[in-house]
């Protein structure tokens, strides 16, 4: 264990900033991404090609991707929920390697609130996106939301999560991130969910995405490590949450995850001091955005 590497997928510039109420400039977004890259993060989600009507903070993702320098030895990701999003992504100017992320929910209530469609309908929407991305040689990552609890339906059965992950894998052999969207997961329930999902997807292709709303994210990471996961999502400064999930704020902070993993002897490739600088920058951007929203 002492020499094992754990990959951190940094979500702050997308999942972290998308819920802020005030304007955030392209320069601030690019500056945050560059600070994260300088800290050693090599998997960074930088935006999403979604309707600005629903997620206004992501309306300038094309400008962000046009401005960012190539990420040496790494990959930027953007969320692409449908073919319209793919068209926006394919038109955008960018340097370096980019991947896309697609997502479904393990609960019907969240699928209706987030996507205005059933789980089955959401799968049909993403299939052509996956097909065209694979054909173009663009890496694809999948997300499953609400892996223990849904803000609308309540507790989610582990088997429903395994089914959702299996559906994504049927469309393409993609890595899958499992999201505790409202942060109610406990180590016992995360463990039970993972044991079900592991029947369909190997641990090497899974990531844990644990919100820290209830203060259990690091404990949930520990049970995931014990079951073989070596990929985790986090957001610098603990930014963010989902705008369609009441009670969701509180992505686990990247700096907390890195410190926790380093204390256990894992390697991450992340420099804690430079990450601290990125976290301070993230909090400044967040504070300015909220002040802008009040003026």
217-251 pLDDT, tens digit per residue, is 999 999 999 999 999 999 999 987 554 455 455 79
74-106 pLDDT, tens digit per residue, is 999 999 999 999 999 999 999 999 999 999 999
242 is catalytic: yes
Give the burial string for 72-89 (b: 16+ CB within 10 Å, else e). Answer: eebbbbbbbbbeebbebb
Residue 21: per-residue pLDDT: 86
**Percent of residues, the chain, with pLDDT higher than 70:** 96
**Percent of residues, the chain, with pLDDT higher than 90:** 86
128-178 pLDDT, tens digit per residue, is 999 999 999 999 999 999 999 999 999 999 999 999 999 999 999 999 999
Residue 1: per-residue pLDDT: 46
* Whole-number Å distance between alpha carbons of 210 and 220: 7
* Whole-number Å distance between alpha carbons of 47 and 64: 8
Q: Classify domain 7-294 at the CATH superfamily level.
A: Aldolase class I (3.20.20.70)
Give the burial class of 204: count Cβ atoms within 10 A of its Cβ; 0-12 exposed, 13-18 middle, 19 or more buried. Answer: exposed
Give the global pTM.
0.95
Which residues are bridge partners to 45 per DSSP? 77
Q: What is the residue extent of each domain of the chain?
A: 7-294
Catalytic residue (choose from 117, 146, 150, 242): 242
């Amino acid at each position: 264990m002492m020499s094992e590497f754990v990959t951190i997928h940094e979500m702050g510039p997308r999942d972290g900033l998308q819920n802020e109420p005030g304007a955030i400039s392209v320069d601030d977004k690019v500056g945050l991404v560059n600070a994260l890259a300088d800290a050693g993060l090599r998997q960074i989600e930088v935006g999403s090609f979604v309707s600005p009507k629903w997620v206004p903070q992501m309306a300038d993702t094309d400008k962000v991707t046009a401005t960012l320098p190539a990420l040496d030895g790494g990959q930027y990701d953007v969320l692409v929920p449908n073919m319209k999003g793919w068209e926006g992504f394919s038109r955008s100017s960018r340097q370096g390697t980019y991947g896309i992320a697609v997502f479904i929910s393990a609960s019907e209530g969240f699928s209706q609130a987030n996507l205005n469609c059933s789980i089955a309908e959401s799968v049909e929407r993403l299939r052509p996106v996956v097909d065209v991305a694979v054909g173009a040689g663009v890496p694809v990552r999948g997300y499953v939301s609400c892996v223990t609890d849904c803000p609308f339906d309540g507790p989610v059965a582990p088997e429903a999560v395994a089914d959702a992950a299996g559906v994504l894998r049927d469309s393409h052999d993609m890595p899958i991130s499992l999201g505790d969207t409202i942060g109610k997961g406990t180590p016992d329930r995360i463990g039970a969910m993972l044991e079900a999902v592991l029947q369909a997807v190997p641990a090497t292709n899974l990531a844990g995405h644990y919100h820290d709303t209830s203060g259990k994210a690091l404990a949930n990471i520990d049970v995931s490590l014990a079951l073989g996961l070596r990929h985790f999502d986090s957001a610098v400064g603990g930014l963010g949450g989902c705008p369609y999930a009441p009670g969701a704020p509180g992505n686990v902070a990247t700096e907390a995850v890195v410190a926790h993993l380093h204390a256990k002897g894992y390697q991450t490739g992340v420099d804690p001091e430079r990450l601290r600088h990125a976290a301070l920058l993230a909090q400044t951007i967040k504070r300015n955005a909220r002040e802008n929203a009040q003026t």
